[in-house]
Amino acid sequence: MSTPLRPAIYARISRDQGGEGLGVLRQLEDCRKLAADQGWPIPAEYVDNDFSAYSGKARPEFLRMLDDLGSGVCDGVVMWAADRLTRQPRENERFLDVISAAKIRHVRFVTGLPGVDVNSGEGVVMLRISSAIAAEESAAKGRRVTRKMLQNAQLGLPHGRSLRPFGFEQDAIAHRPDEAAIIREMAERFVAGESLRSLCTDLDDRGIRTVKGSSWQTHSLRHVLSNPRAAGLRAYKGEVVAKAVWEPIITEELHRKVLATLQSRKVSGRRTPRTHLLSGLVRCGKCNGRLFSARRGDVRRYECKPGPDHGGCGGTTVVAGPLEDLIADYALFRLDSPQVADAIAGRDSADEQTSALGQQLAEARETLEYLAEQFGAGEIEHREWEAARRPIRARVESL
């Protein structure tokens, strides 16, 4: 088999707790050695550190590698093991489609499947089986972790976390007396009728900060006061399942009163239609905070509001009417310009190559739509549709 001219190394690890990248570094070292033993040059390395291959979330370097393979930037791949590539069969099929369309003949693994030939039917089957096994291993691990978390909750043990809860030490069991006193005070004042906003303002005025050292917001204070942990209860997925091993900060009765008060003040949570054109969109020229609409007598204004949930400086006020007219005029003028028309039509490409790629992408998508229509009308069989679709899909992703 010929030697690739531009192979690539791909390395990935799911969790990098130390943040030092040592896991992927070991993979890179082994992959570089394998490439050197094969006499291959290494022009590019793609590393997704602290990225799961099972969660389904996008991995930027994996996607960049697929683009480079599809466009011909790279013509080979070296990986430590097949499960470093993916733990999802659908992503494995995407990889196979890309290398098949690009006629990639050089894929090597340091361990697991070192001699697999992805250009043979047997090699593809082996890679698919490896991907399916890796997916099941991740699913089984997830089930074990979930079961362990439920058991810990039923035993009243704290949930593992990197950030300690407000009112508790790092072990999430021992109280911090000063913060525990704050929780009791805030809970009593809240059920007595004070609003979360006024309580947040008071905490900030007194210099009391959250665990992260930031100012209090209504949502963060609501979470602390409504959390069953404060009443010495252990919850799992929103339901109390046991008495906790730590001592309560507030009584269960006070906890129930907090929840009842929150329920009585609960809003629908639905997003209301925008009433004022620029509310939350324009910014203060002094602190860069968002300006919100407010009425003073017969005059409506946009104001930079201080305090919890807004955090502005309070130093900017603009009369709403003239500002809205000005912005509307500018927007309508801009929308009527040739530049915006070109952008909407896809004619504002930075260069001729980008324009050409955009045209090819549009044509490939039209072909996919045509194939789908033919299959839906019964003009072609499923086997014919699948055989025609795969290379076009790979071309779409490459473009």
Number of Cβ atoms within 10 Å of the Cβ of 366: 10
pLDDT category at 183 given cuts 50, 70, 90 is very high
Mean pLDDT of 87-91: 76
Mean pLDDT of 41-62: 78
pLDDT attached to residue 100: 84
Per DSSP, the residues of 238-268 read TEEEEE-SSPPSS-HHHHHHHHHHHHHT---
pLDDT over 70, % of the chain: 86
Handedness of CA 331, 337, 342, 345 (dihedral sign): positive
Q: Which fold has domain 7-139?
A: Rossmann fold (3.40.50)
Instruction: Name the token pair of 13.
Output: 């690890």
The rounded radius of gyration (Å) of the Cα atoms in the chain is 29
pLDDT attached to residue 247: 94
> Is residue 118's pLDDT more than 80?
no
Q: Looking at the whole model, is its pTM more than 0.75?
A: no
Q: Map tokens 């310009």 to a residue.
A: 337
pLDDT attached to residue 373: 76
Instruction: Kindly report, residue by residue over 217-242, the tens digit of the pLDDT.
Output: 888 999 999 999 999 999 888 888 89
> Is residue 251's pLDDT more than 90?
yes
> Is residue 274's pLDDT more than 90?
no
Contact 267, 287 (CB under 8 A): no
| Measured distance CA(67)–CA(286) in Å, rounded | 43
Top pLDDT among 300 and 381 is at: 300
Query: What does the domain layout of the chain look like in residue ranges?
Result: 7-139, 177-264, 291-333, 342-398
Whether domain 177-264 has CATH 3.40.190.10: no
Mean pLDDT of 73-88: 82
Strands (DSSP E) found in the chain = 7-13, 44-49, 76-79, 107-109, 233-236, 239-243, 291-296, 299-304, 317-319
Contact 48, 60 (CB under 8 A): yes
> Is residue 113's pLDDT more than 80?
no
Residue/partner pairs of 231-234 with CB below 8 Å, 24 or more apart:
231/255, 234/153, 234/154, 234/156, 234/157, 234/158
Instruction: Kindly report, residue by residue over 318-375, the tens digit of the pLDDT.
Output: 998 899 999 989 888 888 888 777 776 655 555 667 767 777 887 888 888 877 777 7
